[in-house]
Amino acid sequence: MSGEGLLVTAEYMYPSLRKILYLALGTAVLSQLLLFPVFAQRFSPQLSLIATELSVLWLVILFVRWQPGAAEELLLLNATPLRALILTIPLALSGSLLISQFDLHWGRFLSTLGYALPLHIQRNLIEVQLAGDLAALLFGLVAVVLSPGIAEELLFRGLVFAGLYVHRGPRLAVAGAGLFFALVHFNPWQLPALILLGVLLGMLVYWTHSIYPAILAHMLNNALSFAGLNLKVYWGLEALAADRFYSPPLVLALLLVFAASALRLRRIPPIMPLPPKARSATSLFT
């Protein structure tokens, strides 16, 4: 097939910006405004979050079935080198801790303006992550780590990223997928941190041409939060606590780990290509 034929196929196969807006709006309404409030009144916070993430996954599956392309292409289920996954671990851990520090300083700034994170949101964030027994631990890991890492990444760094990349280029793919990811969480107090996390996950997809590093990084980010809260509550260990300010040398060390991991990751050649762009765009982070 000629290059022009591939381009036409890609434009038809991948969702347009209008479809992406509809999909993001449908996800926000179904998961955040309907399912989660209803389930939260009858079931545990963990089960409510699992139901919410399953609704996101259901929407992704329905959308993929309506599109003409294969799921592997629409969701960027491309093979990636093992080295890339290994390097994703220090990059994700250091990046997540740095974003957490930024969010902590941002929260303090909002507090000085009288716009602190509401207590009911703080309580919800704590309740969904507390693991008082083995059952709560397993449910918590599924609800906080596993299901968001899979469902949200298939949506935002799969469908949304691929559609924006094909129709609008890499810059808007990274930034737009990160912005949609942050907005759908309905948490304006932590919006900047969520955007930063979304951009980091988008960069991983752009560098590796695969969604798997983003899924791994998302899970590691959530696992840090989950572990930090439970270690503090049940063991009195505050090393990973989300309300702990790091010393400047520790922040510098995290920055160095992040930069070194990112530089090495970018040097690994991707196994599979990204879909062809429908219009020429300036490359990002190359």
CA-to-CA distance for 45 and 250, rounded, in angstroms?
A: 34
- When pLDDT is averaged across residues 156-184 and rounded to a whole number, the result is 94
pLDDT score, position 268:
97
pLDDT score, position 206:
97
How many CB atoms neighbour CB 218 within 10 A? 27
Is the CB of residue 67 less than 8 Å from the CB of residue 13? Answer: yes
- When pLDDT is averaged across residues 38-43 and rounded to a whole number, the result is 77
Give the residue carrying structure tokens 């545990």.
44
CA-to-CA distance for 45 and 139, rounded, in angstroms?
A: 10
Q: Collapse the DSSP code of 190 into the 3-class scheme (helix H, G, I; strand E, B; otherwise coil) and give the result.
A: helix
Whether residue 159 has pLDDT greater than 60: yes
Whether residue 100 has pLDDT greater than 60: yes
% of the chain with per-residue pLDDT over 90? 58
Q: Which residues contact 197 (CB under 8 A, 6 or more apart)?
A: 96, 99, 178, 181, 182, 221
CA-to-CA distance for 37 and 49, rounded, in angstroms?
A: 10
Q: Please check whether residue 130 lies inside any domain of the structure.
A: yes
Whether residue 283 has pLDDT greater than 50: no
Is the CB of residue 237 less than 8 Å from the CB of residue 228? Answer: no
Q: How many domains does the chain have?
A: 1
Q: Please check whether residue 283 lies inside any domain of the structure.
A: no
Tokens of 28: 């926000």
Q: Please check whether residue 281 lies inside any domain of the structure.
A: no
- Band (pLDDT 50/70/90 cuts) for residue 143 is very high
- When pLDDT is averaged across residues 171-184 and rounded to a whole number, the result is 94
Q: Write the DSSP string, 89-117.
A: HHHHHHHHHHHHHHHHHHHHHHHHTT-PP
Q: Please check whether residue 86 lies inside any domain of the structure.
A: yes
For residue 205, give the H/E element and its range.
helix 191-208
The reported pTM is 0.92
Q: Please check whether residue 124 lies inside any domain of the structure.
A: yes
- When pLDDT is averaged across residues 105-109 and rounded to a whole number, the result is 95
- When pLDDT is averaged across residues 231-254 and rounded to a whole number, the result is 90
> Counting Cβ atoms within 10 Å, is residue 66 exposed (0-12), middle (13-18) or buried (19+)?
exposed
> Counting Cβ atoms within 10 Å, is residue 1 exposed (0-12), middle (13-18) or buried (19+)?
exposed
Q: Please check whether residue 282 lies inside any domain of the structure.
A: no
Is the CB of residue 161 less than 8 Å from the CB of residue 205? Answer: yes
Whether residue 105 has pLDDT greater than 90: yes
Q: Please check whether residue 272 lies inside any domain of the structure.
A: no
Structural domain of residue 9, as residue ranges? Answer: 3-71+80-266
- Averaged pLDDT score across all residues of the chain: 89
